Amino acid sequence: MPLSFSLRHDAPDALDTPLLAIILPSEPTLPETLAALDAQFNGAIARTIARRDFRGGKDETLLLVGGERGVQRLLLVGRGSAPLTRTTARRAAAIAARQAGKLGTGAMYLYLPGADPASIEGLVIGAAAGSWSYPDLQTQPPEKDRRARLASVTMLADDTAANRAALEVGIATSEGQNIAKRLGQMPGNYCTPESFVEVGQDIALRHGMQITVLGRREMADLQMGSFLCVAQGTTQEPRLVALEHKGGPADQQPVVLIGKGLCFDTGGISIKPAPEMEWMKFDMMGAAGVMGAMEAIGRLKLPINVVGIIGSTTNMPSGEAVKPGDVVRASNGKTIEIINTDAEGRLVLADLLVFAKRFNPAIAIDAATLTGAIVIGLGGNAVGVFSTDKAAADEVLAAGVAAGEPGWPMPMWDEYKEQIKSDVADMKNTGGRAAGSITAALFLQEFVDGFPFVHLDVAGTAYSQSDLGWIPKGPTGTPVGTFVEFVRVRAQQ
């Protein structure tokens, strides 16, 4: 059952619920609005605060057991000393939702004293993230041992009308993230290029978008020799999927979102080492992020034109596979010497960037799990943001901060271009280990013709190798939030 969200204006002491989670800041005092509830709990809330059992630290929780009726369980959740933002609210709500899942309460009320519309958005996105899972491939325990999944979240708000739009944005964004995370968690034998066609068709149908699907033949007709060389080693049909959301005036140039969709990346002939290779099922999170963003944009009916383009295949070694030294020609005519078949994402993106030109983009933004180097450089806490256009980069960086998916600007200086010069072709597909994320971005820039372009390297941020406390190990939802926020802001201009 999908998780449903609602807003309600009510006193915390008037509720009849299996669980009320109250989100409090560091070193809290008992809010006036909780005095009556505290009385119902015989003063336990005030006492636990006075004793400093609960101090409101980030991720801190304390459960108080209530009676048969009314608030049957009370969960205090700390949000720490940082200012209340969409991101801090998101984290606390995710912690609450994970606790609700462990208790099996099925329903939960959330009360964040002082919540504004931005934090309401955060509560929705966080509660959805904290209760997300991909149980499809695991046998479930027998009915009697099962804990109910969280099915309904009600947020207390003084002015429900003022928060209605925030609720919708939160729901749309989390539905988009759910789509992306599901694709990301699906193993490579379940998530194939065809999965992106199916998800794309479903989004197109539900939101009245135009969809274009290309396979090997159509891409060959367009001379996409760069994308197609990556697909040489797989028997799967590679797919290019384009979704067009026409929410703006017919003559408005669209925002174009582009995603790398490698359903699995073995490295190809330049094969990767075995340890942790299974992680490479996540190499489609850029494309999943585009799909998730198109879902949210469609749900919100944003008054702007947006095109989402994904390129999907699987990078495999085989007798037919592309090999080091081969030279391929991209659809803009440029030739590429393949140095390392494991630098395949940029080869797919090259032809997508050329394809994007036909939509006459106002701006194109790609997201890709492009380089291991960005994982080394920025780790899991910042998206690598690359652009030769400072204003465009700043706009994307601002969207990332607002969405709780912060990025960090990286240089794209000409000096680095030396590293991808080739003796036999127009360029090489790798520039060595030094500045590996930057040379990858400079490679992409070679296929951009006449529109602002921002590249997001999400290799470190789209998938977490460890439990982050607020969300489990696995796909994080990045870059869906950044895309949605960017498009929302553009739609308001």
114-to-85, 117, 157, 266 alpha-carbon distances in Å: 11, 10, 9, 49
Count of beta carbons in the 10 Å neighbourhood of residue 118: 16
Residues 267-326 within binding reach of ligand BES (CB under 6 A): 283
Binding flag, residue 343, ligand BES (CB under 6 A): yes
| Element at 329 (helix H, strand E) | strand 327-329
**What distance in Å separates the CA atoms of residue 341 and residue 325, rounded to the nearest whole number?**
10
Q: Is 272 one of the annotated active-site residues of the chain?
A: yes
Nearest distance from residue 374's CB to ligand BES, in Å? Answer: 8
Tell me how far, at minimum, the Cβ of 436 lies from Mn ion, in Å. Answer: 11
Beta carbons within 8 Å of 373's beta carbon, 6+ residues apart: 433, 435, 436, 437, 440
Q: Is 457 in the site for Zn ion (CB under 5 A)?
A: no
Q: Does 464 bind ligand BES (CB under 6 A)?
A: no
Per the CB < 8 A criterion, the answer to whether 256 and 309 are in contact is yes
Q: Choose the binding region for ligand BES from 47-55, 290-298, 327-335, 367-375 (rule: CB under 6 A).
A: 367-375
Nearest to 257 by CA among 200, 187, 172, 188: 200
Q: Which amino acid is at 285?
A: M
Q: Choose which of 436, 474, 475, 481 interacts with ligand BES (CB under 6 A).
A: 436
The nearest distance, CB 376 to ligand BES, in angstroms, is 9
Nearer to Mn ion, 14 or 376 (CB): 376
- Which stretches of 19-159 are DSSP H helices? 35-40, 44-50, 86-103, 117-130
Contact present, 156 and 9 (Cβ < 8 Å): yes
Q: Nearer Cβ to ligand BES, position 19 or 456?
A: 456
436 binds, among Zn ion, Mn ion, ligand BES, none (CB under 5 to 8 A by kind): ligand BES
Q: CB 29 → Mn ion: shortest distance, Å?
A: 53
How many whole angstroms separate alpha carbon 473 and alpha carbon 466? 5
**Catalytic residue at 417?**
no
Residue at 205: amino acid letter: L
Q: Which of 121, 337, 342, 366 binds Mn ion (CB under 5 A)?
A: 342
Q: Which residue is nearest to ligand BES (CB)?
A: 372
* Residue of 98, 181, 182, 346 marked catalytic: 346
* Residue 173 Cα distances to 291, 339, 483, angstroms: 11, 39, 10
DSSP state of 222: T
Q: Out of 121, 244, 265, 485, name the contact with Mn ion by CB under 5 A.
A: 265
Q: Select from ligand BES, Zn ion, Mn ion, none the partner in contact with residue 373, using the beta carbon and a kind-dependent cut-off of 5 to 8 Å.
A: ligand BES
Is residue 44 involved in binding ligand BES (CB under 6 A)? no
Q: What is the distance between the alpha carbons of residues 4 and 175, in angstroms, rounded to a whole number?
A: 11
Q: Please name the residue ranges forming H helices in 309-463.
A: 345-356, 372-378, 390-402, 436-445
Closest to ligand BES by CB, 39 vs 376, is: 376
Find the shortest distance in angstroms from Cβ 258 to ligand BES: 16
The verdict on 371 binding ligand BES (CB under 6 A) reads yes
Distance CA 415, CA 31 (A): 58
- From the list 55, 149, 216, 272, the catalytic residue is 272
Residue choice 283, 337, 457, 485 for contact with Zn ion (CB under 5 A)? 283
| Smallest separation (angstroms) from ligand BES to the CB of 230 | 10
Q: Which of 160, 212, 340, 360 binds ligand BES (CB under 6 A)?
A: 340
Q: Give every CB contact of residue 260 below 8 A, 6+ residues apart in sequence.
A: 283, 284, 286, 287, 310, 311, 345, 348, 349, 366, 367, 368, 369, 370
Contacting residue, 60, 121, 265, 485, with Zn ion by CB under 5 A? 265
Q: How far is the CB of 267 from Mn ion (least distance, A)?
A: 5
Q: Is 344 in the site for ligand BES (CB under 6 A)?
A: yes
Q: Which residues are catalytic?
A: 272, 346
The binding site for Mn ion (CB under 5 A) comprises: 265, 342, 344
The binding site for Zn ion (CB under 5 A) comprises: 262, 265, 283, 345
The binding site for ligand BES (CB under 6 A) comprises: 265, 283, 340, 342-345, 369-373, 375, 430, 436, 459
